Amino acid sequence: MEYEVVHTDDVPLTDLSEIDEVPSDLQMRAIDDFLPSEHVQLKLWYFEPDEEIRYHAHAEQEELYFALEGEFELTLGPDGDTERREVEAGAFWLARPEVGHGHRNVGDEEGIVLAVGAPNVEDPGRDPGEFDEGSE
């Protein structure tokens, strides 16, 4: 088929606290499991107040984020030269490969973030300090 359609409610919510390899205790919907793509990963991340995805970087993957609900404090930039910004629902942010990024729900209610990553490769988050300028 040339296209696929899926509703959010048709994608199960995964409790990441039950997976030892994942450092975050967030909940997530893996949209890309239901809209298989060769080129992008699609995830919906659910944050209770004060939950976060810690500051990290990827070797190959570029990630685009969109805050659907909530208020977030972002940590963005290369290791040793980060910037903190607060954003609300409707904000986009981008993290290129090897550039550190993380975000925390600073609001009083649940926050939801759509994450789009490309290329669609296994690229676990690493300490941004592992990436020296001009390497990889």
CATH number at residue 61: 2.60.120.10
In a domain, 101, yes or no: yes
Instruction: Report yes or no: 80 and 30 within 8 Å, Cβ to Cβ.
Output: no
In a domain, 111, yes or no: yes
Per-residue H/E/C for the chain = CCCCCCCHHHCCCEEHHHCCCCCCCCEEEEHHHCCCCCCCEEEEEEECCCCEEEEEECCCCEEEEEEEECEEEEEEECCCCCEEEEEECCCEEEECCCCEEEEEECCCCCEEEEEEEECCCCCCCECHHHCCCCCC
In a domain, 4, yes or no: no
What band does 128 get if pLDDT is binned at 50, 70 and 90?
Answer: very high
Q: What is the mean pLDDT of the chain?
A: 90
pLDDT at 136: 43
Q: What is the mean pLDDT of residues 127-134?
A: 77
Does the structure show a pLDDT above 50 at 27? yes
Lowest-pLDDT range of 18-27, 42-51, 60-69? 18-27
In a domain, 100, yes or no: yes
Q: Which domain holds residue 53?
A: 39-133
In a domain, 50, yes or no: yes
Does the structure show a pLDDT above 60 at 84? yes
In a domain, 29, yes or no: no
- What is the Cα–Cα distance from 28 to 34, expressed in whole angstroms? 14
Number of domains in the chain: 1
**For residues 20-39, b (16+ Cβ closer than 10 Å) or e, as one string?**
eeeebebbbbebbebeeeee
Total residue length of the chain: 136
pLDDT at 22: 57
- What is the Cα–Cα distance from 64 to 96, expressed in whole angstroms? 9
In a domain, 89, yes or no: yes
pLDDT at 125: 87
In a domain, 20, yes or no: no
